[in-house]
Amino acid sequence: MDENERKIEAAIGSMSNGELEVVRRRAAHDGEGELLKVCVERLTVRALPVLVRVSHERGRAANLGRERVNLAVEEATARLLAALGRTDTVPAVHRLATEIATACVEAQAAGRRPGRPRLAPAKPDLRLVVDGRANGGRQDRG
């Protein structure tokens, strides 16, 4: 890390979350990759107490084991890093961390239940129902 990078790190470290969010959004909008990366990592680290606490609380409520909770924490951290890289406005980092951690715990809980699909269905299997019969299905020959 050179002198300039150290100064940027120090300046960013002294910012409040609100100030950092403004810098993050500007960096994302202007395509300043390195600055964006520093902001995103710093915000993610600051959100870890919320992310970890929510994952553990929700994990306990869903009767998840320790390893599954940790997997949820890992996925939530990776997803928070990704979400904070967006150029559009995203919710405040702690709210975002809460939402993502909740979704990751739910994904772990869904994967634990036997017979549950771990991927979303490709397409809903819907048919038009006309006069009580499925349209497009086999028709009886007269």
Partner 1 sequence: MAELFERVFWRAIDDLDAGEAEPLDRYLELVPTGQRDELAQLLAAVLAARGPAGAPTPAESESYARALAVIQQASEANGPSGTLPDLLVRIRHGRGIERETVIDALAERFEVGRVGQRTLRRLYHQLEWGQLLGSRLSRRLLAALGAIFQIDERDLDAASRSSEPSKPAAPTLALARGSGRARPRTRRDAGAETAAVAAEEELVRRLFTGGRDA
Stretch that binds partner 1, among 2-10, 64-72, 125-133, 134-142 (CB under 8 A): 64-72
Contact predicate 43/19, CB 8 Å: no
Taking CB under 8 A as the criterion, the residue among 22, 29, 30, 49 binding partner 1 is 49
Q: Which of 82, 127, 129, 134 binds partner 1 (CB under 8 A)?
A: 82
53 lies in the binding site for partner 1 (CB under 8 A): yes
Least distance (Å) from partner 1 to the CB of residue 71?
4
Q: Which stretch binds partner 1 (CB under 8 A): 3-11, 49-57, 132-140?
A: 49-57
Q: How far is the CB of 126 from partner 1 (least distance, A)?
A: 16
Contact between 86 and partner 1 by CB under 8 A: the answer reads: yes
Helix axes 17-30, 33-61, angle to 10 degrees: 130
